[in-house]
Chain A
Amino acid sequence: MSSSSDDYSDEDSYILFKDREDWRDVIPVNPEDNFEHEVVRIAYSEDFKDCFDYFRAICEKDEYSERALELTEECIKRNHANYSVWEYRRRILKKLGKKLEAEYDYTQKMLRRHIKNFQIWHHRQVLCEWANDGSREKAMTELIFKQDQKNYHAWQHRQWVVKRFGLYDGEIDFARELLIKDVYNNSAWNHLHFCIQNRVAISDRQNRHFRIGVGNFSDRPEFGRQSRQFLSAKSEKIGESARSGDRRNRGKFHRFGKPIIINSMTQLNWSAVLYHVQVITIIILFGINFSKENFWLREVLKKTVKFY
């Protein structure tokens, strides 16, 4: 949880939306504070309240315009985790049919400031889906890795891009280089495994190195030496076969251990049972009515009544 900087409110040139000429037609919506006993109150600043009052107004008007886009940007500055604002921003971008270049730059700027924010990473992923293009993402994640080598979101995004757009080329070498710099970079080991698993034939012995080496045994003193040997010798071969397009046994992600066995479990739904009992009883009663003439049914009923 990083604390947000206050630099937006330091800008002397910032004008509240209520004071802007081009926003005169919009009436801000301030929900009534009918609840005096709010918990975890936040002492919202005036500009925060101003932004979100106008955001509510714009949403109610269903306005998708350039000025609405600017408004979402101001709202995001004050609360970058508000997923409704990000959602509305995506709707505006779609409606306006804007080119996404500027949006890519904007998200990159936001990501460098808030590298652990889920909403911004998700937004970036959606942009890639819309554009059906992941070509910028490797460079963008590398920028983030300069700040934080093991940033979980960046590695996850990179894996998503590589898998979604088939951009496996160069990934094994990229992971290897990171590992040669820091052999204990668990994220890079995982990425190496991910790329190899999805691309090339891998023997059980090689797979076992990944499976038992990282996470469980990287604390052993010999891990560093053995891993460096592995990286320099074996992975060259792996890299070669990847480059030569060896697609035999391209593995799906598989579990290590017994396959999943889930027995079917029947859960008795008593209200359903009652329903069926009622229906069957109604049918029987109808049957009784129409079968008064039926000799055999009468005989059965005689015996049943006698029995009881």
Chain B
Amino acid sequence: MKIEEYGIGNVRSHVRYFRNILNVLPSRYSYLDSQRLVIAQFALGGLSFLGAIDQLQNKEEFIEWIYSLQSPHGGFFGSKIMKELPSHLAKPHIASTFAAVQCLILLGDELDRIHIPELLSWIKSLMNPDGSFQGAADASEPTDLREFTYCAAFLIHIFGTSNFSDEDRKRAVQYIISCQSPDTAFGQVPGAEGHGALTFCALASLKFFGCLHSDEGVLSAAELKRIVRFCVNRQSEGIHGRPHKPDDTCYTFWTCAALKLAQPSIDISEKLDKERVLSFVRSCVDENIGGIKKLNAKNQYADATHSYFALAGLGVIFDDVMPEYMLKKDLTKRVLRIRNRVKESKLDSSNSLLSRAGNLALSVSFAILSVYATYLLREPLTSA
């Protein structure tokens, strides 16, 4: 279904809204400085959902900017201010890294300038003994956030599992499962309240770890059915994330994507009232500046987060967006191509200088010995 048919206001005003974000934000948005890459992901993602990303003229400049935020030791910073600090304080962030990879995929980059071995060992260093992931090294960021597990799972899925053994995978999955709340949704930490967004993060992470709808699936059919029921119950007019909370446009994505992941064969229109969701999102469109607000309230303004997730959510409902990747289905080929390229080039295998030198020495000695063996065996052995 084309975006114009969703009927969420003037598509060009939304495109203009996202392009303005990519350009300049006023000074009152300084509090977003440490996560500019994430905001860029929302803007580029929003343009992608609106079918307008190919209209961008200066994609190469965007790609250069993103790579300029890469740390030589793995990971990406959220902005220059986070990067330009002494090395003991400058810590790349996993959410920024996730955003960087998403942006590069959206811009058509082949991800060939990413330092993959350093990235993978950095992600491994963020893993706690209980299987959760920190946001940034040395607990600069809270260590319990489950979105970080999702970001890590996505990156490992794309770039390979060489640093990530089966034991690590089991621990991560164990942690995810321990975060399941009594109503079978997932919370932020063990014991926390079930939450739509965190249910999505949990299900998507399990899918990336190969433990959802597979031979190693850790959720029974009954549990998945209860998760579906939890998600379905989250609709009143629009969709919310926790029981008896007000509707919020960003949960259009979180909850619908969780529903789709819990039961991939589902037709969402059988479980949710699409028209009511659409009319709620429509009512939250900001007529003045474009974009989508969190709630339908006069004192609310559109923001990048809610605009992006509302569009992503509508994409999931109309089967246009891959829920676990947060990308349009047209981009599946691109993602698969990148994954295969990484696998084939064996860049994900331990590629450190030492092992490369070791392999070279071994191959040379093997060649010398092969020649020597040929020399040894030159006489027919049958001679006495």
Indicate, yes or no, whether A interacts with B. Answer: yes
* Residues on A with beta carbons closer than 8 Å to the beta carbon of B66: 39
Residue of A nearest to B68 (CB): A35
| Chain A 211-234 near chain B by CB (<8 Å), digits 1 or 0 | 110111011000000000000000
B28 in contact with A3 (CB, 8 Å) = yes
- List 16 extra interface pairs beyond A35-B64, A84-B90, A261-B218, CB under 8 A: A4-B30, A38-B80, A39-B65, A42-B36, A45-B30, A80-B31, A81-B34, A122-B142, A155-B192, A159-B191, A186-B193, A193-B182, A255-B180, A256-B223, A267-B161, A302-B382
Complex Cα–Cα for A30 and B93 (A): 22
Contacts of B226 in A (CB 8 A): 216
23 contacts between A and B (CB under 8 A): A4-B30, A4-B31, A37-B61, A40-B21, A40-B25, A44-B30, A45-B27, A80-B31, A81-B31, A83-B136, A87-B138, A119-B142, A160-B189, A186-B193, A198-B191, A211-B183, A214-B182, A214-B183, A215-B185, A218-B243, A257-B222, A263-B215, A298-B381
Q: Which chain B residues border A54 with CB–CB below 8 Å?
A: none
- A74-132 residues with Cβ-Cβ distance < 8 A to B are 78-84, 86-88, 118-119, 121-122, 125
Bound form: Cα–Cα A297–B111 in Å: 53
Decide if A83 touches B141 in the complex (CB within 8 Å): yes
> Is B322 among interface residues, defined by CB-CB distance under 8 A?
no
Given contacts A35-B80, A44-B27, A156-B192, contact A82 B142 (CB under 8 A): no
Q: Report A32-72 CB contacts with B as 1/0, cut-off 8 Å.
A: 00010111111111001000100010011010000000000
Is there contact, CB below 8 Å, between B174 and A186?
no
The interface residues of chain B lying within 8 Å CB-to-CB of A264 are 166
Contact B85 A59 (CB under 8 A): yes
Choose one: B24, B210, B301, B305; the contact of A43 (CB below 8 Å): B24
6 nearest A-B residue pairs (beta carbon): A215-B183, A37-B61, A122-B142, A190-B193, A184-B244, A31-B84
Interface residues of A in 177-216 (CB under 8 A from B): 184-187, 190, 193-194, 197-198, 210-212, 214-216
Are the CB atoms of A215 and B230 closer together than 8 Å?
A: yes
The answer on a CB contact under 8 Å between A48 and B27 is: yes
Question: Which residues of chain B from 350 to 380 have any CB-CB distance to chain A below 8 Å in the complex?
Answer: 359, 362-363, 365-366, 369-370, 372-373, 376-377
Task: Give A4 to B34 CA distance when docked, in angstroms.
Answer: 14
Contact status of A150 and B245, CB under 8 A, knowing A42-B33, A43-B24, A302-B381: yes
Cβ–Cβ contact A43 & B27, under 8 A: yes
Cα(A168)–Cα(B354), bound, Å: 53
Stretch at the interface among A14-22, A135-143, A239-247, A278-286: A278-286
Chain B residue nearest to A34 (CB atoms) is B68
Binding site for B on A (CB under 8 A): 1, 3-4, 6, 29, 31, 35, 37-45, 48, 52, 56, 59-60, 62, 78-84, 86-88, 118-119, 121-122, 125, 150, 152, 155-156, 159-160, 163, 184-187, 190, 193-194, 197-198, 210-212, 214-216, 218-219, 253, 255-258, 260-265, 267, 269-271, 275, 278-279, 281-282, 285-286, 288-289, 292, 298, 301-302, 305
Contacts of B62 in A (CB 8 A): 37, 39
Select from chain B the residue with minimum beta-carbon distance to A32: B84
Residue numbers in B under 8 Å from A270 (CB-CB): 346
A118, B194: Cα distance in complex, Å: 18
Instruction: List chain A residues, Cβ under 8 A from B303.
Output: 1
The chain A residue with its CB closest to the CB of B192 is: A156
Asked whether B376 lies within 8 Å of A118 as measured between CB atoms, the reply is no
In the complex, what distance in Å separates the CA atom of A277 from the CA atom of B222? 48
For the complex, give the distance between the alpha carbons of A160 and B174 in Å: 20
Asked whether, in the complex, the Cβ of A260 is within 8 Å of the Cβ of B177, the reply is yes
Number of residue pairs A-B, CB distance < 8 angstroms: 249
A265 touches B166 (CB 8 A): yes
Q: A84-B85, A118-B145, A186-B242 given as contacts; is B183 within 8 A of A255 (CB)?
A: no
- Give the most central of B34, B61, B81, B365: most A CB within 10 Å: B81
Q: Which residues of B contact A118 (CB under 8 A)?
A: 141-142, 145
Shortest C-beta distance, B25 to chain A (Å), equals 5
B147 to chain A, nearest CB (A): 10
Which chain B residue has the least Cβ–Cβ distance from A218? B243
A184-B33 contact given A121-B142, A122-B141, A190-B181, CB 8 Å threshold: no
On chain B, the residues within 8 Å of A3 by CB distance are 28-29, 301
| Contacting pair B82 A84 (CB below 8 A) | yes
Min CB distance, B240 to chain A, in Å? 11
The answer to the question of B233 belonging to the interface, with a C-beta cut-off of 8 Å to chain A, is: yes
Interface assignment of B158: CB less than 8 Å from any CB of chain A: no
Selected contact of A56 from candidates B85, B180, B216, CB within 8 Å: B85
Q: Which of B189-212 contact A (CB under 8 A)?
A: 189-195, 210-211
In the complex, chain A residues whose CB is within 8 Å of the CB of B174: 260
Is residue B272 contacting chain A, with contact meaning CB distance below 8 A?
no
| Inter-chain contact A40/B141, CB cutoff 8 Å | no
Contacts of A6 in B (CB 8 A): 28
Query: What residues of B have a CB within 8 angstroms of the CB of A198 in the complex?
Result: 191
Q: Which residues of B lie under 8 Å from residue A81 when comparing CB positions?
A: 31-32, 34-35
Contact B381 A305 (CB under 8 A): yes
CB contact list, B247-275 vs A, under 8 A: none
Which of B89, B301, B349 is A59 in contact with, Cβ under 8 Å? B89
Partner of A285, one of B32, B36, B372: B372
Tell whether B151 is near chain A: CB-to-CB under 8 Å. no
A198 to B210, CA, bound (A): 31
Min CB–CB distance A123 → chain B (angstroms): 9
Whether B170 is near chain A, meaning CB under 8 Å from some CB there, is: yes
Flag whether B229 is at the interface (Cβ < 8 A).
yes
Is B349 a contact partner of A271 (Cβ separation < 8 A)? yes
In the complex, chain B residues 214-240 whose Cβ is within 8 Å of any chain A Cβ = 215-216, 218-220, 222-223, 226, 229-230, 233
Q: Given contacts A41-B25, A84-B91, A214-B182, are A262 and B170 in contact (CB under 8 A)? A: yes
CA distance A257 to B349 in the complex (A): 37
Give the complex CA separation of A128 and B72 in angstroms.
35
Chain A residue with minimal CB distance to B66?
A39
In the complex formed, the residue of A with least CB distance to B26 is A43
B193 with A152: CB separation less than 8 A: yes
List chain B residues, Cβ under 8 A from A82: 33-34, 81-82
